[in-house]
Structure 1
Amino acid sequence: MKKIISILVLVILLKPIFPVIDYVINYDYIATVLCVNKAKPQMHCNGKCHLMKEMAKESESEKPISSDKKNGAFENEILFCQDIHPFETIQDFYPTTTKKNVNYSNLYSHLNSNAVFHPPTFNV
């Protein structure tokens, strides 16, 4: 079952590449027979025009068909709308007159230094 699912996923992922694979396999036939620009060899098309047409067809077939489109106009749907109120701060001050935890002692110390640490160098 896992193999079938993995093959199916692989086919779905590689579907846009099928025209390129077909172009590589049938390069000689496409370049000599199906090429639109056979009369213009200076363009060095070699069937790439046919490849571009096939890739355009493939991309069109992947797009979902929507019948409610009107001349390519986009329609936005609003799913949720909520008024945004500005943030208001309320300043409440509660002055404390008594010290809490009088027995607390701050044992932390910090040394400000502008020197950059360089690791020691060894002369060998």
Structure 2
Amino acid sequence: MKQVAAILLLIGVLGQTFSKALIIAEYELNKEYIAKNLCVNRSRPKMHCNGRCHMMKQLKQEEKKDQENPERRLENKLEIICAAFHPDHLALTQVITFIQYPVFQENTCTDFVAAPFHPPQA
């Protein structure tokens, strides 16, 4: 039950955060249907609107919701940016030079002691 609630909460938060991206993705996936049935300018094909008017209308409605609700405003949203992959940060990275270490050679023994070790006797 906790997992279901956590998943629903996560979907709700992500849906609110990426609402504009979801509107654009929905437009791209249903472009033909929107152009034929929902477009305001479908009777004027010379405009080459292709349903963008419908998408812009939805984006304006979403912007209106953001302005009405102070919690949804852009300045109140936290965005996490990975600094390690930011292009400005990548340009400042330094190249690490390869350090060569001596190669281990098998069967090479220095200071070989033939006698076994005997502890001192009291």
When the two structures are superposed, what TM-score results if normalisation uses the length of structure 2?
0.44
Q: Which has the larger radius of gyration?
A: 1
When the two structures are superposed, what TM-score results if normalisation uses the length of structure 1?
0.43
Higher relative contact order (CA 8 A, sep 6+): 1
